[in-house]
Amino acid sequence: MAQARRTELRLLDETEKELVEASRHPGLADRADEDLARLRKNLRERRDKARDVANRQRREMRGKAVPSGAKPAADNAGSREKFAALSAALQRVNGEIARRKRFASRDELRRNAEQALEMRRAASRPNRPSSRRTKKGMRSVPNERGPDLVNPMEVGRVSQFVKNSQAKRDNR
């Protein structure tokens, strides 16, 4: 980790160093949401610029692009490392923003659940009519099932008879 920081110090200019250091904890957690959004925007701009420079240098090394300086680029390792350092810083900032979003959504969900419970408790029992036909008085409701034609004792007797007959057959 110390080696990576030393490499970053060598690769980055002063404003980029400040941006990368601001993306580290614990200072990252103390920042306001607006500061985080501004930091993310600046890191994205710097990362994109470093990516473009590394790509241009790679194309110059392969001979696909005309050199932008006095002589063509011989190596783009420094630009790639700078891009990697800025990308890591941007990932840390994006992670913090996502973490804050998760906590905010949890809080909102909890508040909504508490409000729903409050509303449910405050609601009175629903008004239902006291009889099936309001303002007509009680009426008898006929039983829709027909009368049982089989005596329950007969059902039991037949069941027992079948059991006994099966047992006799099994013992043969």
**Residue 136: predicted pLDDT:** 64
pTM above 0.75, yes or no: no
pLDDT of amino acid 95: 94
pLDDT at 131: 56
Q: Residue type at 72?
A: P
pLDDT averaged per 10 residues in sequence order, the chain, 172 residues: 64 88 88 93 94 87 75 77 92 94 92 91 70 64 82 91 94 84
* pLDDT number for residue 64: 78
Q: How confident is the model at residue 141, as a pLDDT? A: 80
| Rounded distance between C-alpha atoms, residue 38 and residue 47, angstroms | 14
pLDDT at 143: 81
The b/e string for 51-67 (b: 16+ C-beta within 10 A; e otherwise) is bebbebbbebeeeeeee
Q: How does DSSP assign 53-78, residue by residue?
A: HHHHHHHHHHTSS--SSSS--S--HH
d(CA 35, CA 82): 23
Six-digit token string for 111: 């508040």
Whole-number pLDDT of residue 149: 84
pLDDT of residue 58: 85
pLDDT at 108: 92
